[in-house]
Structure 1
Amino acid sequence: MNDEFMDNLIEQNPDAIIFADTEGIICVWNLAAERIFGFSKEEAIGSNLDIIVPQNLRKVHWHGYEQAIQRGETKYVGTFLPTKSLHADGSVIYVELGFSIVLDSAKNVIGALSSARDITTKYKEKQA
C-alpha cells in the first residue's frame, strides 16, 4: 500500500487521529482532529500535546505518557477513556480517547497514537 492510501485512511477517518513523538510533540493531526479540537493542522503539528490537555490534568497526563513511552505499552490497550480536553477557543470539551504506543521495525518506541471522538453533547445530557 502506498503513502497516498495511508494518508487517505488517516484523513478520512471520522475520529481524530493524533500521533505524538516520544517528547509529546504532535506529528500527525487529521481533519477530524481539526473539527473536534478546533486547531488547524498547521497550528497543531509541531506543538506540544499541552494544547489539548487542560492545565489541571497535565501533571497526571505527562506522568502516564512518560511511563507508557518507557514501558513501550499502555495499560489502556483496547479501551476508550472519557476525559476532558481543551478546544482552541479555550472551552473544555469531553472526548473518548484510545491510545497505543507505536514501535518502529526494530521495536523501538517512536511515539503514541491516539484516536478521539467528541462526547461533549452525550456527557452534558447525562449530567442534566
Structure 2
Amino acid sequence: MENDLLSEIILDQIADAVIYADRSGEIARWNRASVAMFGFPSEEALGQRLDLIIPEHLRAPHWRGFDAAMSTGVLKLQGRPTLTRALHKSGRKLYVEMTFALVKGVDGDVLGSVAMARDVTERIERERSATRAA
C-alpha cells in the first residue's frame, strides 16, 4: 500500500479528533473523529477558520497564541495536553483535552498547526458532581 494512502487511512481511523490548520488558521484536515466530536461534516469544516469550534470568549487568547507560534516557530505548550472548551455544531460546549504541534516543511518553515482532541466532557462533569457532593 502506498505510504500516503496508508497515512490517510490511519488518520481517518484514529479515535481522537485530528485537525490541521494552515498558517492563517484555516482548517485543511478534519478526520472522521472530528466530525463525530464537533458535529460538522468535513464539507462544512474544511476551509473554515478555527473559530468554528472555539467559544467566543476564548478566541482572542487562542489567536494570540496561534499567531505567536506561527511567527516564532515555538509552541508554549510544547505538546503537553491542555484542558479547554470547544464548540459543537449544536452550540453545546464541550470539555476537550488537546495537544498541539507545529507542522514544519523540510526547510523548517512553519506550515501550520495540528491538534489532537479528545472529548472529556463526561469525565469533567462527573468529577465536578463528585466535588459538589463532597
Place the TM-score, normalised by the shorter chain, in its bin.
over 0.9
- Structure 2, unmatched stretches of 5+, are 130-134
CA distance in 1, matches of 2:69, 2:82: 15
1:41 paired to 2:52: no
RMSD of aligned alpha carbons: 0.8
SS of 1:126's equivalent? Answer: helix
Taking the TM superposition and a 5 Å limit, the aligned residue runs for 1:59-98 are 59-98=60-99
Deviation at 1:77, TM superposition (A): 1.8
CA distance in 2, matches of 1:32, 1:67: 28
Cα deviation 1:22-45 (Å, max 9, x = unaligned): 000000000000111111111111
Cα deviation 1:28-86 (Å, max 9, x = unaligned): 00000011111111111100000000001100000000011111121212311000000
Identity %: 38
Supply the AA of the counterpart residue of 1:25: E
- Structure 1, unmatched stretches of 5+, are none
CA distance in 2, matches of 1:75, 1:54: 20
1:115 paired to 2:116: yes
> Of Structure 1 and Structure 2, which has the larger fraction of its residues in helix?
2
Aligned residue pairs total 128
Greater Rg over alpha carbons, structure = 2
Deviation at 1:99, TM superposition (A): 0.2
